[in-house]
Amino acid sequence: MQTTRHTINTQVDLNRFLNKAFTFPVGIDDSGPLPPRNKHYAPLRATIRQGFTITARELLHAIGCKSTALPSNNVNECINSAYPFFHLLDFSGSELRFQRTLDSDIQTARSQEIGIGMMCLFASRLWNIPWDQLESIPAPGKRFDYRGSNNSIRGIFEAKGTKYSRNQGAHIKHGVEKKAEHHKRGERYDVELIVSTCVAAKEGRSRIMVADPEFDFGELAFGPDSSYFFRLRHYARVLHYAGLTPLARNIYEEAVEMLRPSLRLYNRLQISPATRFSSRQNIQLSQVRAGKRDYLGKWIDYQIPPDDPESSFSIKPRKAAKLLSVFPKKLQLFQGIDLDIFESIQSGRISKLTVDSAPSTPSHEVIAPGEEIAPGIQASIFPDGSIMAASVSGAGNSKSPDITAWHSRKEARNRIR
C-alpha cells in the first residue's frame, strides 16, 4: 500500500482535515477489571460500549499541549507544535494509523506521545479534568505519570502508547505494579486508571485498553470487611498450630478468596454438615483441661540429643550443659485451641470471635504464663483461646522445671508452624 500524503492548501482543507473523526474501540484488560463499586467509572463504562470518538484536532491539540507545556487555551499554538504528526499519521481512512512506510524507530518514539494525548482526552472528556492541569507526579518511587482533580474526584493516570496491540498487556502489568506502589505509600485516589493506546502501523487494529484492578487487600485492611478477614487469617494459623489442619485450610482458602474475588482463582469452600471436620478424622488429637476450660490440640515430642543440643534448640553451647541438666531426655509440648472456640469456628460463627480479646464464650480462668495445670505440666493461655503446655519426662530432678523463659523465646516460632 502506498503512503498517503496530506495536501493542505487552504484553511478549508485544514479544517476538513482537523475535524475528521475517528472511533477507537475501548476494552478492559483481563488483568485489571474496573472496580465494580466505583461510581466514578460510569462514564468510562459507557465509553467502552460505544467506543471513544475523537477528532484529529482534539488529538493534536492534546499532544501539542503536553509535549510543549503550553496552556490548553492556546489551541493554534498547541496544534502547530504537533505538526510532525500531520506526516506521521494516516488520517485518510476510517481508522487512525501510522503511515506504513515510516521508520519503525520513529513510530515507537511517537507512540508514547500519542498515548499521553489520548490519556489527556480521557481525563478531560470523562471526568472534566483539563489536560493542562494534569501535573506530573514527583519522585521518588514507582508512580503513575499524571494526577489531577476537579470539584468531585481525584485521579491518577498512567499513559502508554504502542504500535503493536500485543504490547498492551505488558503496559497494563507495568501500570498495575505502579499502582501497587502508590497503595503501599498510602496514596489512594477515586480514579486510578491505566490507559494504553495502540495506533497500528502495518498490522493489527488501532484500539485503547484500560485497566484499574481493585486491590482488595487495601479494602480488607481498612474497610468494613477487615475484621472478618483478619479473623479468618488469624484463626487459620491458630487451628494449624493446634493440629486442626483440614479446618485451618478451609478458612484460609475463604480468606484467599476474599483477596481475589474477581479473578476466581479459588473456589469458595463452605463447611457443610456433610464435610464438617471431625476431631477424630485422620489425625491424632488430644484434649487438655486447664482451669475450667478444655483445649483441643496435639502433643509434640522434642528429643534433645546429649551430644548435639543445638540440632533441636538454637542455643549457645555454653548453655547446653545447664539445659541438659533440666531436660535430659524428652520435652513434650501441647499446642491447642479452646474447645468452645473450635466449635464456634466449625459452625460458622467465626465473626463472633476476636483476635485481641477474650472470645464471647465463657471467660477463661486466669492462668499465669508457666503455671502448673497438672503434675509436671505447665501452660500458658493466650487471649485468642490458644494454649501452649509443656511436660517433661526423665528430668534430672522431681520438681517441674521453669520453662517460662524458654517458652517466651519459642512461642512465636511454634505458633506459625
Q: Above 90 in pLDDT, residue 123?
A: yes
Query: What pLDDT score was predicted for residue 235?
Result: 86
Report the DSSP beta bridge partners of residue 147.
135, 156
Query: What pLDDT score was predicted for residue 250?
Result: 85
Residue the block writes with cell 502501523:
201
Query: What pLDDT score was predicted for residue 412?
Result: 44
What is the C-alpha separation between 257 and 264, in angstroms, rounded? 7
Q: Above 90 in pLDDT, residue 265?
A: no
Q: Above 80 in pLDDT, residue 276?
A: no
**Residues 299-327: pLDDT tens digits?**
887 665 555 544 444 444 444 444 445 55
The dihedral region occupied by 376, where left means phi > 0, alpha psi between -120 and 50, and beta the remainder, is left
- Residue 414's pLDDT band, with cuts at 50, 70 and 90, is very low
Region 58-84 average pLDDT: 88
Helices 226-241 & 339-346 angle (0-180, nearest 10): 120
Nearest C-alpha neighbor of 384 from the set 226, 228, 238, 241: 238
Could you report how far apart the first and last alpha carbons of the chain are, in Å? Answer: 67
Q: Above 50 in pLDDT, residue 122?
A: yes
Region 236-255 average pLDDT: 84
Q: Where are the beta strands (DSSP E) in 212-351?
A: 286-290, 293-303, 330-338
Nearest C-alpha neighbor of 22 from the set 49, 47, 68, 59: 59
Q: Above 60 in pLDDT, residue 49?
A: yes
> What length does the chain have?
417
The SS3 call for residue 405 is helix
Residue the block writes with cell 519522585:
139
- Residue 57's pLDDT band, with cuts at 50, 70 and 90, is very high
Query: What pLDDT score was predicted for residue 195?
Result: 96
Share of the chain above pLDDT 70, in %: 70
Burial 2-16 (b: 16+ CB within 10 A, else e): eeeeeeeeeeeeeee
Query: What pLDDT score was predicted for residue 283?
Result: 54
Query: What pLDDT score was predicted for residue 410?
Result: 44
Higher-confidence residue of 282 and 24: namely 24
CB 53 within 8 A of CB 206: no
Residue the block writes with cell 514527583:
138
**Residues 347-396: pLDDT tens digits?**
877 776 654 444 433 344 445 555 677 777 888 888 888 888 888 664 44
pTM here is: 0.53
What is the C-alpha separation between 40 and 150, in angstroms, rounded? 12
The amino acid sitting at 386 is S
Query: What pLDDT score was predicted for residue 329?
Result: 55
Helix and strand numbers (H, E) in the chain are: 13, 16
Q: Above 60 in pLDDT, residue 332?
A: yes
What is the C-alpha separation between 96 and 74, in angstroms, rounded? 25
Query: What pLDDT score was predicted for residue 14?
Result: 77
**Residues 213-233: pLDDT tens digits?**
876 555 555 555 567 777 888
CB 202 within 8 A of CB 22: no
Q: Above 60 in pLDDT, residue 188?
A: yes
- Residue 41's pLDDT band, with cuts at 50, 70 and 90, is very high
CB 350 within 8 A of CB 344: yes
- Strands 146-149 and 207-211, by their bridges, are unpaired
- Per-residue CA distances from 23 to 1, 51, 97 (Å): 22, 6, 12
